[in-house]
Copies of this chain bind each other. A is one copy, B any other.
Amino acid sequence: MGARGSVATTAITGLLALRAGLVRPVGCVTERLDIDHSVLPAWDDIAVGGHDIVSTPLDKRAEHLAAAGLIPHSVVSAVADGLRAVDAELRCGYHPVTHTGPQAAAVARLTRDIEDFRTRNDLARVVVVNVTSTEPPVPALPEHDDLDLLAAALEDPQRTVLPASSVGALAALTAGASYVDFTPSPGIKIPALAELAHRNRLPYAGADGKTGETLVRTVLAPMFTARALNVRSWAGTNLLGGGDGANLADPAQARGKLESKARGLARLLGDDVTAPLHIDNVATLGERKIAWDHVSFEGFLGAQMSLQFTWDGYDSALAAPLVLDLARLVSAAHADGQTGPLAALAFFFKDPLGTDEHRFAEQTRMLADWAARLGATE
Protein backbone atom coordinates (compact mmCIF):
# COMPACT_ATOMS: atom_id res chain seq x y z
CA MET A 1 0.00 0.00 0.00
CA GLY A 2 1.43 3.32 -1.14
CA ALA A 3 3.38 1.48 -3.83
CA ARG A 4 4.23 4.57 -5.85
CA GLY A 5 5.54 6.65 -2.91
CA SER A 6 9.17 7.47 -2.17
CA VAL A 7 9.73 4.67 0.30
CA ALA A 8 8.05 2.06 -1.88
CA THR A 9 9.78 3.17 -5.07
CA THR A 10 13.16 3.13 -3.37
CA ALA A 11 12.50 -0.31 -1.92
CA ILE A 12 11.39 -1.72 -5.28
CA THR A 13 14.29 -0.14 -7.19
CA GLY A 14 16.69 -1.42 -4.57
CA LEU A 15 15.28 -4.94 -4.64
CA LEU A 16 15.73 -5.04 -8.41
CA ALA A 17 19.26 -3.67 -8.08
CA LEU A 18 20.15 -6.22 -5.39
CA ARG A 19 18.83 -9.00 -7.54
CA ALA A 20 20.89 -7.77 -10.48
CA GLY A 21 23.95 -7.59 -8.25
CA LEU A 22 24.31 -3.86 -8.96
CA VAL A 23 24.59 -2.76 -5.35
CA ARG A 24 25.61 -4.09 -1.95
CA PRO A 25 22.85 -4.58 0.64
CA VAL A 26 23.89 -1.55 2.73
CA GLY A 27 21.19 -0.84 5.29
CA CYS A 28 19.66 -4.33 4.99
CA VAL A 29 19.62 -5.72 8.48
CA THR A 30 18.62 -9.24 7.49
CA GLU A 31 21.85 -9.63 5.55
CA ARG A 32 23.97 -9.27 8.65
CA LEU A 33 21.89 -11.35 11.04
CA ASP A 34 23.84 -14.30 12.30
CA ILE A 35 21.21 -16.90 11.38
CA ASP A 36 20.39 -19.72 9.01
CA HIS A 37 19.59 -17.59 5.98
CA SER A 38 17.51 -20.28 4.33
CA VAL A 39 14.61 -19.34 6.60
CA LEU A 40 14.32 -15.99 4.82
CA PRO A 41 12.99 -15.53 1.31
CA ALA A 42 15.89 -14.77 -1.03
CA TRP A 43 15.85 -11.50 -2.99
CA ASP A 44 15.04 -13.58 -6.06
CA ASP A 45 12.03 -15.17 -4.41
CA ILE A 46 10.22 -11.92 -3.72
CA ALA A 47 7.57 -10.68 -6.13
CA VAL A 48 6.26 -7.14 -5.78
CA GLY A 49 2.70 -5.89 -6.22
CA GLY A 50 0.75 -3.13 -4.51
CA HIS A 51 -1.90 -0.45 -4.37
CA ASP A 52 -1.71 3.30 -4.74
CA ILE A 53 -4.15 6.08 -5.45
CA VAL A 54 -1.96 7.92 -7.92
CA SER A 55 -0.89 6.54 -11.23
CA THR A 56 2.55 8.04 -11.90
CA PRO A 57 4.54 5.21 -13.48
CA LEU A 58 7.14 3.69 -11.17
CA ASP A 59 10.02 4.40 -13.54
CA LYS A 60 9.06 8.09 -13.63
CA ARG A 61 8.99 8.15 -9.81
CA ALA A 62 12.38 6.50 -9.69
CA GLU A 63 13.81 9.06 -12.10
CA HIS A 64 12.44 11.80 -9.92
CA LEU A 65 14.17 10.26 -6.90
CA ALA A 66 17.41 10.02 -8.87
CA ALA A 67 17.19 13.73 -9.69
CA ALA A 68 16.75 14.37 -5.97
CA GLY A 69 20.04 12.59 -5.25
CA LEU A 70 18.44 9.59 -3.56
CA ILE A 71 19.17 6.87 -6.13
CA PRO A 72 21.99 6.79 -8.69
CA HIS A 73 20.82 7.51 -12.24
CA SER A 74 22.73 4.48 -13.44
CA VAL A 75 20.75 2.16 -11.19
CA VAL A 76 17.43 3.54 -12.37
CA SER A 77 18.37 3.00 -16.01
CA ALA A 78 19.62 -0.49 -15.31
CA VAL A 79 16.39 -1.63 -13.66
CA ALA A 80 13.92 0.34 -15.78
CA ASP A 81 12.47 -2.81 -17.35
CA GLY A 82 12.01 -4.37 -13.96
CA LEU A 83 10.22 -1.26 -12.73
CA ARG A 84 7.84 -1.41 -15.64
CA ALA A 85 7.15 -5.08 -14.90
CA VAL A 86 6.31 -4.26 -11.28
CA ASP A 87 4.16 -1.39 -12.49
CA ALA A 88 1.96 -3.90 -14.29
CA GLU A 89 1.29 -5.55 -10.92
CA LEU A 90 0.09 -2.36 -9.22
CA ARG A 91 -3.60 -1.72 -8.67
CA CYS A 92 -5.75 1.20 -7.74
CA GLY A 93 -5.98 1.65 -3.95
CA TYR A 94 -8.92 2.66 -1.78
CA HIS A 95 -9.36 6.40 -1.96
CA PRO A 96 -11.03 7.74 1.18
CA VAL A 97 -12.38 10.84 -0.56
CA THR A 98 -13.53 9.61 -3.96
CA HIS A 99 -14.82 6.22 -2.85
CA THR A 100 -18.60 5.78 -2.95
CA GLY A 101 -20.68 2.89 -1.71
CA PRO A 102 -20.10 0.71 1.33
CA GLN A 103 -16.54 0.30 2.56
CA ALA A 104 -17.09 -3.46 2.48
CA ALA A 105 -16.97 -3.30 -1.30
CA ALA A 106 -13.57 -1.64 -1.15
CA VAL A 107 -12.31 -4.25 1.27
CA ALA A 108 -13.54 -6.99 -1.02
CA ARG A 109 -11.88 -5.48 -4.07
CA LEU A 110 -8.51 -5.03 -2.34
CA THR A 111 -8.77 -8.58 -0.92
CA ARG A 112 -9.34 -9.96 -4.38
CA ASP A 113 -6.37 -7.99 -5.74
CA ILE A 114 -4.11 -9.54 -3.12
CA GLU A 115 -5.40 -13.04 -3.71
CA ASP A 116 -5.05 -12.66 -7.47
CA PHE A 117 -1.52 -11.37 -7.03
CA ARG A 118 -0.61 -14.41 -4.93
CA THR A 119 -2.15 -16.85 -7.42
CA ARG A 120 -0.77 -15.12 -10.52
CA ASN A 121 2.75 -15.14 -9.10
CA ASP A 122 2.40 -18.55 -7.52
CA LEU A 123 3.48 -17.30 -4.10
CA ALA A 124 3.54 -19.17 -0.81
CA ARG A 125 2.73 -16.09 1.21
CA VAL A 126 2.04 -12.37 0.84
CA VAL A 127 3.15 -9.61 3.22
CA VAL A 128 1.27 -6.33 2.89
CA VAL A 129 3.38 -3.33 3.99
CA ASN A 130 1.64 -0.03 4.57
CA VAL A 131 3.75 2.85 3.28
CA THR A 132 0.88 5.18 2.38
CA SER A 133 0.73 8.78 3.54
CA THR A 134 0.35 9.15 7.29
CA GLU A 135 -3.24 9.58 8.46
CA PRO A 136 -4.45 11.44 11.54
CA PRO A 137 -5.59 9.46 14.59
CA VAL A 138 -9.29 8.54 14.46
CA PRO A 139 -11.84 8.67 17.28
CA ALA A 140 -12.64 5.23 18.68
CA LEU A 141 -15.98 3.69 17.71
CA PRO A 142 -17.75 0.72 19.32
CA GLU A 143 -17.47 -1.03 15.93
CA HIS A 144 -13.67 -0.88 16.21
CA ASP A 145 -13.78 -3.26 19.14
CA ASP A 146 -15.94 -5.96 17.68
CA LEU A 147 -15.43 -7.77 14.41
CA ASP A 148 -19.12 -8.54 13.88
CA LEU A 149 -20.26 -4.99 14.56
CA LEU A 150 -17.54 -3.84 12.24
CA ALA A 151 -18.56 -6.16 9.43
CA ALA A 152 -22.13 -4.91 9.68
CA ALA A 153 -21.14 -1.25 9.73
CA LEU A 154 -18.93 -1.66 6.69
CA GLU A 155 -21.98 -2.66 4.68
CA ASP A 156 -23.62 0.69 5.32
CA PRO A 157 -22.97 2.86 2.22
CA GLN A 158 -23.52 6.02 4.30
CA ARG A 159 -20.80 5.36 6.83
CA THR A 160 -17.04 5.67 6.85
CA VAL A 161 -16.17 3.38 9.70
CA LEU A 162 -12.51 2.76 8.97
CA PRO A 163 -9.68 5.01 7.87
CA ALA A 164 -7.97 4.02 4.60
CA SER A 165 -5.05 2.32 6.33
CA SER A 166 -7.43 0.04 8.21
CA VAL A 167 -9.39 -0.75 5.06
CA GLY A 168 -6.10 -1.98 3.63
CA ALA A 169 -5.18 -3.92 6.77
CA LEU A 170 -8.58 -5.59 6.79
CA ALA A 171 -8.19 -6.62 3.17
CA ALA A 172 -4.72 -8.02 3.85
CA LEU A 173 -5.88 -10.13 6.77
CA THR A 174 -8.97 -11.29 4.92
CA ALA A 175 -6.76 -12.42 2.05
CA GLY A 176 -4.59 -14.37 4.48
CA ALA A 177 -1.67 -11.98 4.12
CA SER A 178 0.47 -10.88 7.04
CA TYR A 179 0.74 -7.15 7.59
CA VAL A 180 3.33 -4.51 8.46
CA ASP A 181 2.52 -0.95 9.41
CA PHE A 182 5.43 1.27 8.52
CA THR A 183 3.35 4.37 9.31
CA PRO A 184 1.78 5.73 12.51
CA SER A 185 -1.68 5.52 10.89
CA PRO A 186 -4.46 3.59 12.66
CA GLY A 187 -3.97 0.57 10.34
CA ILE A 188 -4.06 -2.63 12.34
CA LYS A 189 -4.23 -0.83 15.67
CA ILE A 190 -8.05 -1.02 15.44
CA PRO A 191 -8.73 -3.77 18.04
CA ALA A 192 -11.12 -5.73 15.83
CA LEU A 193 -8.36 -6.13 13.22
CA ALA A 194 -5.93 -7.48 15.79
CA GLU A 195 -8.67 -9.94 16.70
CA LEU A 196 -8.99 -10.95 13.05
CA ALA A 197 -5.23 -11.49 12.77
CA HIS A 198 -5.43 -13.89 15.69
CA ARG A 199 -8.45 -15.64 14.27
CA ASN A 200 -6.75 -16.04 10.86
CA ARG A 201 -3.46 -17.05 12.57
CA LEU A 202 -1.53 -14.23 10.94
CA PRO A 203 1.46 -12.32 12.30
CA TYR A 204 1.82 -8.57 11.96
CA ALA A 205 4.29 -5.85 12.93
CA GLY A 206 4.49 -2.09 13.43
CA ALA A 207 4.22 0.74 13.86
CA ASP A 208 5.96 3.67 12.21
CA GLY A 209 9.39 2.90 10.80
CA LYS A 210 12.23 4.17 12.95
CA THR A 211 14.76 5.70 10.61
CA GLY A 212 16.17 9.00 11.80
CA GLU A 213 15.72 11.23 14.82
CA THR A 214 13.85 8.58 16.79
CA LEU A 215 16.45 5.97 15.99
CA VAL A 216 19.13 8.19 17.49
CA ARG A 217 16.90 9.00 20.45
CA THR A 218 16.35 5.37 21.33
CA VAL A 219 20.10 4.94 21.29
CA LEU A 220 21.03 8.03 23.27
CA ALA A 221 18.31 8.11 25.90
CA PRO A 222 19.37 4.78 27.49
CA MET A 223 22.90 6.19 27.77
CA PHE A 224 21.69 8.95 30.07
CA THR A 225 19.71 6.47 32.11
CA ALA A 226 22.58 4.01 32.38
CA ARG A 227 24.82 6.80 33.62
CA ALA A 228 22.23 8.10 36.09
CA LEU A 229 22.27 11.51 34.41
CA ASN A 230 19.15 13.56 34.76
CA VAL A 231 17.71 14.61 31.40
CA ARG A 232 15.76 17.82 31.83
CA SER A 233 14.71 18.72 28.30
CA TRP A 234 14.86 17.11 24.90
CA ALA A 235 13.76 19.41 22.10
CA GLY A 236 13.48 18.34 18.49
CA THR A 237 12.91 19.97 15.14
CA ASN A 238 12.46 18.02 11.91
CA LEU A 239 12.74 19.64 8.50
CA LEU A 240 11.56 17.50 5.65
CA GLY A 241 10.52 17.79 2.05
CA GLY A 242 9.15 15.13 -0.27
CA GLY A 243 5.62 13.73 -0.19
CA ASP A 244 5.93 12.99 3.50
CA GLY A 245 6.87 16.62 4.23
CA ALA A 246 3.94 17.94 2.24
CA ASN A 247 1.53 15.60 3.99
CA LEU A 248 2.85 16.33 7.49
CA ALA A 249 2.67 20.08 6.87
CA ASP A 250 -0.97 19.55 7.79
CA PRO A 251 -1.05 19.62 11.62
CA ALA A 252 -3.89 17.10 11.68
CA GLN A 253 -1.85 14.55 9.72
CA ALA A 254 1.25 15.30 11.75
CA ARG A 255 -0.49 14.61 15.03
CA GLY A 256 -0.14 10.85 14.80
CA LYS A 257 3.53 11.17 13.96
CA LEU A 258 4.27 13.59 16.78
CA GLU A 259 2.42 11.41 19.26
CA SER A 260 4.27 8.32 18.12
CA LYS A 261 7.60 10.09 18.55
CA ALA A 262 6.72 11.59 21.93
CA ARG A 263 5.44 8.33 23.39
CA GLY A 264 8.81 6.70 22.88
CA LEU A 265 10.74 9.43 24.64
CA ALA A 266 8.41 9.43 27.62
CA ARG A 267 8.74 5.67 27.82
CA LEU A 268 12.53 5.95 27.87
CA LEU A 269 12.97 8.90 30.20
CA GLY A 270 9.76 9.37 32.11
CA ASP A 271 7.16 12.08 31.81
CA ASP A 272 8.88 14.99 33.45
CA VAL A 273 11.14 15.85 30.55
CA THR A 274 10.20 19.02 28.66
CA ALA A 275 10.13 17.80 25.07
CA PRO A 276 8.86 20.23 22.45
CA LEU A 277 8.83 18.64 19.00
CA HIS A 278 8.23 20.11 15.55
CA ILE A 279 7.86 18.80 12.02
CA ASP A 280 8.27 21.45 9.34
CA ASN A 281 7.65 21.02 5.64
CA VAL A 282 10.62 22.46 3.75
CA ALA A 283 9.90 21.45 0.18
CA THR A 284 13.24 22.66 -1.14
CA LEU A 285 15.03 19.94 0.86
CA GLY A 286 13.60 17.43 -1.58
CA GLU A 287 13.96 13.90 -0.26
CA ARG A 288 16.30 14.88 2.58
CA LYS A 289 15.33 15.13 6.20
CA ILE A 290 17.23 17.23 8.71
CA ALA A 291 16.59 16.75 12.40
CA TRP A 292 18.10 18.78 15.22
CA ASP A 293 17.79 17.63 18.80
CA HIS A 294 18.94 19.50 21.86
CA VAL A 295 19.18 17.64 25.16
CA SER A 296 19.88 19.46 28.40
CA PHE A 297 20.85 17.34 31.35
CA GLU A 298 22.07 17.66 34.87
CA GLY A 299 25.05 15.84 36.29
CA PHE A 300 26.75 15.48 39.65
CA LEU A 301 26.33 18.41 42.01
CA GLY A 302 23.84 20.04 39.68
CA ALA A 303 26.20 20.66 36.74
CA GLN A 304 24.21 21.78 33.67
CA MET A 305 25.32 20.18 30.42
CA SER A 306 23.98 19.58 26.94
CA LEU A 307 24.18 17.33 23.94
CA GLN A 308 22.87 18.33 20.54
CA PHE A 309 22.86 16.50 17.28
CA THR A 310 21.95 17.13 13.67
CA TRP A 311 20.88 14.24 11.49
CA ASP A 312 20.98 14.81 7.74
CA GLY A 313 19.57 11.83 5.90
CA TYR A 314 17.60 10.58 2.96
CA ASP A 315 14.59 9.22 4.72
CA SER A 316 13.58 6.80 2.04
CA ALA A 317 17.11 5.43 1.71
CA LEU A 318 16.89 4.58 5.38
CA ALA A 319 13.36 3.22 5.21
CA ALA A 320 13.55 1.16 2.03
CA PRO A 321 15.95 -1.56 3.16
CA LEU A 322 13.93 -1.92 6.37
CA VAL A 323 10.80 -2.47 4.31
CA LEU A 324 12.60 -5.28 2.49
CA ASP A 325 13.86 -6.66 5.80
CA LEU A 326 10.37 -6.58 7.27
CA ALA A 327 8.87 -8.33 4.27
CA ARG A 328 11.42 -11.11 4.67
CA LEU A 329 11.12 -11.42 8.45
CA VAL A 330 7.34 -11.28 8.65
CA SER A 331 7.09 -13.79 5.83
CA ALA A 332 9.43 -16.09 7.72
CA ALA A 333 7.40 -15.62 10.92
CA HIS A 334 4.25 -16.48 8.98
CA ALA A 335 5.90 -19.62 7.63
CA ASP A 336 6.98 -20.36 11.18
CA GLY A 337 3.39 -20.29 12.36
CA GLN A 338 3.70 -17.17 14.51
CA THR A 339 0.57 -15.17 15.20
CA GLY A 340 -0.26 -11.66 16.37
CA PRO A 341 2.09 -8.72 17.00
CA LEU A 342 5.77 -9.53 16.51
CA ALA A 343 7.32 -7.78 19.50
CA ALA A 344 10.77 -8.92 18.43
CA LEU A 345 10.58 -6.51 15.50
CA ALA A 346 10.46 -3.47 17.82
CA PHE A 347 13.94 -2.73 16.45
CA PHE A 348 12.29 -1.35 13.32
CA PHE A 349 9.63 0.89 14.84
CA LYS A 350 9.03 4.14 16.65
CA ASP A 351 5.95 2.80 18.38
CA PRO A 352 6.47 -0.93 18.60
CA LEU A 353 3.39 -3.16 18.75
CA GLY A 354 3.41 -5.94 21.30
CA THR A 355 6.05 -4.47 23.58
CA ASP A 356 7.04 -1.34 25.43
CA GLU A 357 10.74 -1.86 24.90
CA HIS A 358 12.13 1.31 23.27
CA ARG A 359 15.82 0.90 24.06
CA PHE A 360 17.54 0.27 20.78
CA ALA A 361 20.26 -1.99 22.12
CA GLU A 362 17.67 -4.20 23.81
CA GLN A 363 15.64 -4.25 20.63
CA THR A 364 18.74 -5.27 18.69
CA ARG A 365 19.25 -8.19 20.99
CA MET A 366 15.57 -9.16 20.90
CA LEU A 367 15.72 -9.24 17.11
CA ALA A 368 18.90 -11.29 17.05
CA ASP A 369 17.56 -13.82 19.53
CA TRP A 370 14.23 -14.16 17.79
CA ALA A 371 15.74 -14.43 14.33
CA ALA A 372 18.15 -17.09 15.53
CA ARG A 373 15.20 -19.22 16.59
CA LEU A 374 13.28 -18.68 13.33
CA GLY A 375 12.56 -21.95 11.62
CA ALA A 376 14.02 -23.90 14.53
CA THR A 377 10.61 -25.40 15.21
CA GLU A 378 10.14 -26.58 11.66
In the complex, how many residues of chain A place their beta carbon closer than 8 angstroms to a beta carbon of chain B? Answer: 75
Q: Does A88 contact B (CB under 8 A)?
A: no
**CA of A311 to CA of B23, assembled, Å:** 31
List, in ascending order, chain B residues with CB within 8 A of A81's CB: none
Q: A70-B303, A222-B361, A303-B317 are in contact. List 14 more A-B contacts (CB 8 A).
A: A17-B301, A26-B229, A26-B302, A28-B228, A29-B228, A69-B304, A72-B301, A216-B220, A274-B283, A292-B294, A292-B308, A299-B314, A305-B313, A305-B314
Q: How far is the CB of A267 from chain B (nearest CB, A)?
A: 17
- Chain A window 222-244, contacts with chain B (Cβ cutoff 8 Å), 1 for yes, 0 for no: 11001111101101010100000
Among the interface residues A228, A281, A286, A311, which one has the most CB atoms of the partner chain B within 10 A? A228
B361 engages A228 (CB within 8 Å): no
Given contacts A309-B308, A312-B305, contact A284 B292 (CB under 8 A): no
Residues of chain A from 226 to 265 with CB closer than 8 A to chain B in the complex? 226-230, 232-233, 235, 237, 239
> In the complex, how many angstroms separate the beta carbon of A123 from the nearest chain B beta carbon?
24
Q: Is the interface of A mostly helix, strand, loop or mixed?
A: mixed
Given known contacts A227-B29, A308-B310, A321 and B300 CB-to-CB distance under 8 angstroms: yes
Contacts of A28 in B (CB 8 A): 228, 300
A291 to chain B, nearest CB (A): 10
Query: Can you report 6 A-B residue pairs in the complex whose CB atoms are below 8 A from each other?
Result: A27-B300, A299-B317, A305-B311, A305-B318, A307-B311, A308-B310
Q: Are B227 and A223 in contact (CB under 8 A)?
A: no
Q: Collect the chain B residues with CB atoms within 8 Å of residue A185's CB.
A: none
**Which residues of chain A (63-108) have a CB below 8 Å from chain B?**
69-73, 75
Nearest B residue to A70 via CB reads B303
Q: Judging by beta carbons under 8 Å apart, are B229 and A219 in contact?
A: no
Give the distance in Å from the alpha carbon of A313 to the alpha carbon of B227 in the complex: 14
In the complex, what distance in Å separates the CA atom of A13 from the CA atom of B276? 33
Q: Quick check: B278 and A274 within 8 Å, CB to CB?
A: no
> Is A346's CB within 8 Å of the partner chain B?
no
Q: Report B-chain residues with C-beta under 8 Å of the C-beta of A317.
A: 299-301, 303, 305
Compute how far the CA of A308 lies from the CA of B237 in the bound complex, rounded to whole angstroms. Answer: 13
The verdict on A352 contacting chain B, using a C-beta distance below 8 Å, is: no
Q: Which residues of chain B are near A71, meaning CB under 8 Å?
A: 301, 303
Given A233-B239, A308-B309, does the pair A13, B301 have CB atoms closer than 8 Å? Answer: yes
A274: chain B residues at CB < 8 Å are 281-284
| CB < 8 Å neighbour of A282 from B73, B223, B233, B278 | B233
A304 CA to B302 CA, complexed, in Å? 18
Per-residue interface assignment for chain A, residues 10 to 28, with 1 indicating a CB less than 8 Å from any chain B CB and 0 otherwise: 1001100100000101111
Say how far A235's CB is from chain B's closest CB, in angstroms.
5
A364 within 8 A of B: yes
Say yes or no: is A336 at the interface (Cβ < 8 Å to chain B): no
> Is A269 interfacial (CB 8 A cutoff)?
no
Give A178-235 interface residues, CB cut-off 8 Å to B.
215-216, 219-220, 222-223, 226-230, 232-233, 235
| Shortest 8 CB-CB contacts between residues of A and residues of B | A361-B361, A303-B317, A276-B280, A232-B284, A309-B309, A27-B300, A305-B313, A299-B317
In the complex, the chain B residue whose C-beta lies closest to that of A234 is: B282
Q: With CB as the reference atom, state the residue of chain B lying closest to A283.
A: B274
Contacts of A32 in B (CB 8 A): 228
A25: chain B residues within 8 A (beta carbon)? 228
CB of A31 within 8 Å of the partner chain: yes
Interface presence of A56 (CB below 8 A): no
For the complex, is A52 an interface residue (Cβ under 8 Å from B)? no
